[in-house]
Structure 1
Amino acid sequence: MDWRSVDAALFDLDGVITPTAEVHLRAWAELFTAALPPDVAPWSDADYFAHVDGRQRSDGVRAVLASRGLTLPEGDPDDPPGARTVHGLGNRKNDAFLTVLHRDGIAGYPGSVRLLDWLAGRGIRVGLVSSSRNARAVLGAAGLADRFPVVVDGLVAAELELAGKPAPDTYRYAARLLGVPERRAVVVEDAVSGVAAGRAGGFALVVGVDRGVGEPALREAGADIVVTDLADLIPTA
């Protein structure tokens, strides 16, 4: 990869910088194993990658329910976790995620931290674009909060009414905050929806990180390059 034509790198968080995708997967599995009725297909890990990965929480709930032909009332964002609403299920999943995060902690992928170090040494600006509303908590738990001067997460998207991935709005907003045009920024994503957002945004390059989705799916969504470790993006010479 030639970094000479790039002024900024915009990273997803879960599965790109930190292995929080594993925590999210366990939390979603716990939620829908209990919430899906017995007369529909049970939850599987494939549901995470097909319907949830990279999406905002409420969008993920709707997508899983729709895959089973189910609907629930929307409810309100402050619905209690026990409510049988889209937001209630989302809040139940969030409680499960935070329990695991605080109990077990989290650390950045070594290769991802190496790339952040390399980019910092060359003055390439970085931003974080995550659908999660817990992005800052995860960065803090991983000791990486000071690495990203710009964080556009699910809270920012909700406040500014930015469409979530696969729409490019959150990535474009992060590039604007960094003062870099899309044609001079690279998007780094592990989710099909995030790769599609980078492609739709007209960014210089979209890098797919294969943490389980598979290279064919990432390339089909629009990834120019697919790696399994972000250290592979560091030039060797």
Structure 2
Amino acid sequence: MTCSVRDSAGNLGDNTFAVTVEDTTAPSLTVSSSRTATATSANGAAVTYTPPTATDTVSGTVAAGCDRASGSTFPLGPTTVTCTAEDEAGNIGTESFTVTVTAAWSNVLQPVNADGSSLFKLGSTVPTKFQLTGASAGISHLSAHLYLQRIGSGATGTVLEAISTSSATTGNLFRYDATSGQYVFNLSTKTLSGGTYQLRVDLGDGANRTVNISLK
């Protein structure tokens, strides 16, 4: 750009400078809303979503993509999907959403009452069982774990359950029983003390599944 000025004697002076117009604004993306799905295998579930779109104030409509393709298999638990778009000036816009895959289950089965009212004889074995249901019903090799926490010294359970003669399970991994279609963990209470305990069943999907039992 050139600027000039003339004085009263008619002398003309001028100078120039450069103006550079830069695009520093990243594209704006529209992405899918967060969604949930039910696991159909131990690997998770195939989940589809609406592809992202992106517009830019200078470049107009630009291509957008995500780091996990629609229709691909998402693992158990929450997965963050990040989508990006780049304009002609190299500005990159990002947006994300979450896909959460959980296993459908029956809740705990007998002899443990789901309402926390079960009372077991201290030293006995507590058969802890559940089934996968719905779209998850066919999964027979899910990695399911049992965790135990004492939450009170008093026994709050009121329903005295029968004594099991099943052998105790070692470790904390449920086994799958193909005959009943159930996941089973035989919890030994021989090394425990009386009181109320919280059992947490972890199916690897981040969902909180707990039930209380009492020992006396």
Q: Structure 2-normalised TM-score?
A: 0.22
Which protein, 1 or 2, shows the higher relative CO under an 8 Å CA cutoff with sep ≥ 6? 1
Bigger helix fraction: 1
- The structure with the larger Rg is 2
Q: Structure 1-normalised TM-score?
A: 0.20
